[in-house]
Amino acid sequence: MIKTDLLHHESVPVPCPAKFQDTWDDVHVKMPCSNKSLFPVIDEDTQEQQNKSRWELIKETLNKKFTSAYELKKALLNYNASNAKKWDFTALSSYCSKVLEPDAAEHLFNSLLPDMVQLAVRASELCTKPIPLLKRGMNHSITMSQEQAACLLANAFFCTFPRRNSRKAEYSNFPDINFFRLFEGSSPKKIEKLKTLMCYFKSVTEQKPTGLVTFTRKVLDKSPVWKSSQTQLTKLHITCDGTIEDDGSGMLQVDFANKFVGGGVTSSGLVQEEIRFLINPELIVSRLFTEALDDNECLIITGTQQFSKYTGYSQTYQWDGSHQDTTPKDGWQRRCTEIVAIDALQFRNFLEQFHPDKITRELNKAYCGFSRLETDSENLAAVATGNWGCGVFGGDTRLKALLQMLAAAEAGRDVAYFTFGDSRLMTDVNNMHSFLTKRNISVGEVYDLPGPVLQLRV
């Protein structure tokens, strides 16, 4: 999507090709600026139905000045008319009229929103190359500039992406991308989400970002034969202090993902994955083109920038101001931040996760995320992870820690494990690791333990 031969430090990457290529099919993102994106209107003279360009309506509507949340709502519904009775803008209205101070509200309507509009309507100028859908079974990468990502996210904010407002539509196996669910309801969490995302839009409209971001869907074609693995466990650093994003610099950072990447980031969810997507909003772009992950797949995102700080978690989450990301960049001008989205199984029955099939599935999923068969294991960074698939997903913290250690060992990576304040878990996992390493117990020997014995061990 950009000219890689023209990459320069601190200069904005140039889109490639030079002119917009209009593609409207089942294997690419249907763009709002496509000539194929139409909407029906009744001709006033003939009373006959005609199809008009939806993009022209979007540009005409958004280029009118908004002075209130009500006018913004009217604008969004002007080109999403079929959703007028379904969409609720309570959170957006509260943010604009009750949360923002008068000066901040004036800046929002007079400066920030107009800047976001100009970013959104440049879609045909910035996103010239058709964006492939990362469908199931595909090993494929998409690299785009941060400016292109910002343009796509501005369009998501203004809910311009066609065919993406219904879960029964052709994109039913893809996450939501349009932000309409972010605007609904009266939860304080929505207000904090809006604060976090508006911080991002303020940053990218005031100063164009100059880096690149790569999204890679990876399929694990062949799983390890876990039962016969002679691999020894690698090193473990475990702590109850710190976070993956703050203390996992230079490591492979795990996103405790939903199979629909980003989970509830644009709706009501606000745990580990959603928080990471909020403070690094370029991650949200992946929802535009990433089909639900299969059991043998993961998504790797390289180069996203952190724009916000936060405090709390879930119900106590609060935006805590802008963040200056000083992470160094690689030769492709991507920040050296590598995040891997791996989705754990959800367990209603606690004992179900100790079944051999479930253990194998979780091992394969983690191994898919951790392994890089094309890279010498000596050159692989440690995995920065924590209580993957626990909490609302019902995973046992000790079992999940063990499985991640086994998968990391098989992939040739050390582990940095963050227990998020749980000192007892820190001690237990450290003791478990010491027990296994001192006795030179292999990955295969641990895997071969019967389920009931494994329950007792963890």
Q: Is 273 tagged catalytic?
A: yes
* Number of C-beta neighbours around residue 52 at 10 A: 12
Dihedral sign (CA 309, 68, 83, 130): negative
Active-site residue, from 147, 176, 192, 255: 255
Query: Annotation-wise, does 431 bind a ligand?
Result: no
Burial class (CB in 10 A: 0-12, 13-18, 19+), 5: exposed
Active-site residue, from 245, 274, 338, 362: 274
Burial class (CB in 10 A: 0-12, 13-18, 19+), 331: exposed
- Long-range Cβ contact pairs of 103-111 (< 8 A, separation 24 or more): 108/198, 109/65, 109/66, 109/67, 109/68
Query: Annotation-wise, does 258 bind a ligand?
Result: yes
Length, in residues, of the chain: 458
Question: In terms of DSSP H, where are the helices of 12-80?
Answer: 54-62, 69-78
364, 420 contact by CB (below 8 A): no
Q: Is 352 tagged catalytic?
A: no
Active-site residue, from 176, 273, 297, 410: 273
Residue 249: strand, helix, or coil: coil
How far is it, in rounded angstroms, from Cα 191 to Cα 67? 19
How far is it, in rounded angstroms, from Cα 8 to Cα 150? 19
Q: Is 274 tagged catalytic?
A: yes
Query: Annotation-wise, does 315 bind a ligand?
Result: no
Burial class (CB in 10 A: 0-12, 13-18, 19+), 448: middle
Task: Give the DSSP per-residue string, 386-423.
Answer: -STT-GGG---HHHHHHHHHHHHHHHT--EEEE-TT-H
CB-based contacts of 15, cutoff 8 Å, min separation 6: 1, 2, 3, 125, 126, 127, 128, 129, 145, 148
Q: Is the peptide bond before 13 cis (omega within 30 degrees of 0)?
A: no
How far is it, in rounded angstroms, from Cα 362 to Cα 364? 5
Question: In terms of DSSP H, where are the helices of 121-187?
Answer: 123-126, 146-157
Q: Can you say which residues are annotated as belonging to the binding site for substrate?
A: 258, 272, 313
User: Which residues carry out catalysis?
Assistant: 255, 273-274
List binding-site positions. Answer: 258, 272, 313
